[in-house]
Amino acid sequence: MQIQHYRIASPLDTHFRVGTCEEDRCSAYLNGWRTVVDETTQLGQQQAAYIRADRTRRHVESSELVDGAARTVFTFEAGQRCFRTHRVPLDRPELYLVEGTGFRRVHSGPDPWVDDLNTNQARLSALINRG
């Protein structure tokens, strides 16, 4: 008996595009944000250098104790692009998939997918009841 997996998918590469902070209603864009950097590490030094060299975002730099250690804090005001990549849906219909070893079916919509699932469940139930 072959195992079948039923799933509904919206793959990133076909159903989304890269969007702006404004389109995504990003909380950092709407409210501003703080980035806390530990400059005693190599990664922290690289992050701080990147932020200081970046002329596309406005920030204020300060120092404070975080968890008992001195950290550099970069405070960014609202209304500017954050550091994340945002994904915006393209409003394409989901893919209704049935997959197994060596096969993949894509149904045309939810109704045929549910019919396929119900048929498979009935077949499994009959096999179980038969013993």
Spans of all domains in the chain: 5-16+89-130, 27-83
Q: Is the pLDDT of residue 119 over 80?
A: yes
Q: Is the pLDDT of residue 1 over 80?
A: no
pTM score over 0.85 = no
Q: What is the pLDDT of residue 69?
A: 80
Which alpha helices (DSSP H) does the chain contain, by range? 12-15, 21-24, 27-31, 42-53, 110-130
| pLDDT mean across residues, the chain | 92
* Of 7 and 131, the one with more pLDDT: 7
Q: Is the pLDDT of residue 59 over 90?
A: yes
Burial group, residue 14, by CB count within 10 angstroms (0-12, 13-18, 19+): exposed
> What percentage of the chain carries pLDDT values higher than 70?
98
Q: How confident is the model at residue 15 (pLDDT cuts 50, 70, 90)?
A: very high
Q: What is the pLDDT of residue 2?
A: 76
Going by the DSSP 8-state scheme, the letter that residue 79 receives in this structure is: S
Q: What is the pLDDT of residue 8?
A: 96
Find tokens 């008992």 and name the residue.
68
